Amino acid sequence: MKIFISGASGLVGGNCLKHFTEMGSNVVGSYFSYKTDNTVFYDTLNPGHAENFDIAAFAPDVIVHCGALTHVDYCETHPEESYEKTVQSTINLIEVVKSCKARMVYISTDYVFDGADGPYREDAPVRPISVYAAHKLEAEQLVLKEIPDALVLRVTNVYGDEVRGKNFVARIIEQCVNKQKLKLTLPYDQYATPANAWDIARAMYVLLKDNKQGIYHIGSTDFLNRVELALRVLSYFPDAEYDLIPISTADMKQPAPRPLLGGFVKMKFSNEYPEFLFGNVDSYLRSKFQTKVD
């Protein structure tokens, strides 16, 4: 497969670039504002940019769209920018997909649900409750409408190896390794199914290889709230100093509302790939730090 990845300098895109390359695919990954090794420049908001990588000349079989504005509270207070970077960028890339006669993969989120009755299967009714969520849903629906054989992967609470180490788990690990005291104020009532970006890349690859299409929920064996997730990571650092304050979502007074009971039931994927083994937070941490400290 020849694959172009938009947003390959980020967490999911970077892991896809690495895994697809290791599997022998011809892969090109792009960056916009943060260049990483083996990425090329591409601005999805300006397809005619003179410095853009020539996707048409590369002639990909698949275009994977990982780029979006993911700061949920920022999106809530900057709806126009949220639309541009999530919906308009997707519209622009859809046109490129059509011109290349390629397939498309879109990365979506459990925020398309209201969080009243999770974890969710693929056929659950969608009901976004924030600007970010509404724009992610609009983009995924456009992809499914315009590209008949498109693949949409919904993921949440993604963690894993990342050049910038921006994800929640990576930030805790970095501060512990650097022996910095952590100050964590975290909601105890937001639940999700954290997924390792490496597992997302692996799952995406088998779905592409088998020409799957439609919506798939990708998650791990964990179903945790944010406090539990932080404590799971901290258990690998018995000497870590931290102040952890559990708080309700309502008391956090964040600009954007959050789905509380989120996350996924990945029955569809697991029924089709019963021998595919997902990792979890513990297996990821053990791989980095060997033995768990209870």
pLDDT, tens only, 252-281: 999 999 999 999 999 999 999 999 999 999
In this structure, the chain runs to a length of 294
Measured CA to CA in angstroms, residue 121 lies from 10, 87, 150, 208, 255 at distances of 26, 24, 18, 20, 27
Residue range 246-250: mean pLDDT, rounded: 98
Specify the 3-state DSSP secondary structure of 240: coil
pLDDT band of residue 127 (cuts 50, 70, 90) is very high
Q: What is the pLDDT of residue 67?
A: 85
β-strands 103-109, 182-187 pairing: unpaired
Is pLDDT of 191 > 90? Answer: yes
- Chain centre to alpha carbon of residue 62: 18
Average pLDDT score over the chain: 96
Q: How far apart are CA 234 and CA 176, in angstroms?
A: 8
Residue range 103-123: mean pLDDT, rounded: 97
Domains and CATH numbers, the chain: 2-158+192-217 (3.40.50.720)
Is pLDDT of 293 > 80? Answer: no
Supply the angle between the helices 226-234 and 168-177 in degrees, to the nearest 10: 30
Residues whose CB falls within 8 Å of the CB of residue 154, separated by 6 or more in sequence, listed in order: 108, 109, 110, 112, 122, 140, 215, 216, 217, 218, 264
Is pLDDT of 96 > 60? Answer: yes
Residue range 105-125: mean pLDDT, rounded: 97
Q: What is the pTM of this model?
A: 0.96
pLDDT band of residue 222 (cuts 50, 70, 90) is very high
Is pLDDT of 153 > 80? Answer: yes
DSSP 129-155: -SHHHHHHHHHHHHHHHH-TT-EEEEE
* Percent residues over pLDDT 70 in the chain: 98
Is pLDDT of 152 > 80? Answer: yes
Q: How far apart are CA 247 and CA 58, in angstroms?
A: 50
Is pLDDT of 56 > 80? Answer: yes
Is pLDDT of 154 > 60? Answer: yes
Pick from 57, 64, 15: nearest CA to 36: 15
Q: What is the pLDDT of residue 34?
A: 87
pLDDT band of residue 291 (cuts 50, 70, 90) is low
Q: What is the pLDDT of residue 61?
A: 98
Query: Of 129-143, 191-205, 242-256, 280-294, where does mean pLDDT reach its minimum?
Result: 280-294
